[in-house]
Amino acid sequence: MDCHSSATARSEAPHATETNSTRTISDALKRRAQSVINDRSIDRESRALVRYALEINDPCLAQLVRLVDAGESIVAALERSEIAETIEEDWSPERIETLAE
């Protein structure tokens, strides 16, 4: 069945509040990640992984920051496979050691 219409589809722009709220969350996450990176009481490997995730805009950044906020070592969580299904090849044990050096 063909649908003929003289009406044209309009493209919808995001609402101003949606854009601002998304950016605020992103900015807040970036600030929290930077805080983790600068916190010397957090293990070196976890800080290195958060720094790397922040640099490459990794979608796992929020999860990594939550782990650190909970007092977890990211490396220990990776070893227990808690977040293994959400990580890429960049998060291999060899890569972690390289980042922490």
Q: How many domains does the chain have?
A: 1
Mean pLDDT of 11-26: 55
- pLDDT, tens digit, for every residue of 32-79? 999 999 999 999 999 999 999 898 888 889 999 999 999 989 888 877
pLDDT at 35: 96
Residue 24 included in any domain: yes
CA distances from 7 to 44, 62, 69, 81, 82 (A): 59, 43, 52, 53, 51
Domain annotation covers residue 79 = yes
Tell me, yes or no, whether 6 lies in a domain.
Answer: no
Q: What is the DSSP code string of 9-27? A: PPPPPPPHHHHHHHHHHHH
Higher pLDDT, residue 84 or 71: 71
Give domain status of residue 10, yes or no: no
Confidence at 80, pLDDT banded by 50, 70, 90: confident
Closest of 41, 53, 59 to residue 99, by C-alpha: 53
Q: Is residue 48 part of a domain?
A: yes
Report yes or no on 57 lying in a domain: yes
Please give the residue range of the domain that contains residue 82.
16-100
Quick check: is 8 in a domain? no
Whether the pTM exceeds 0.95: the reply is no
Place of tokens 């050691």: 97
In a domain, 76, yes or no: yes
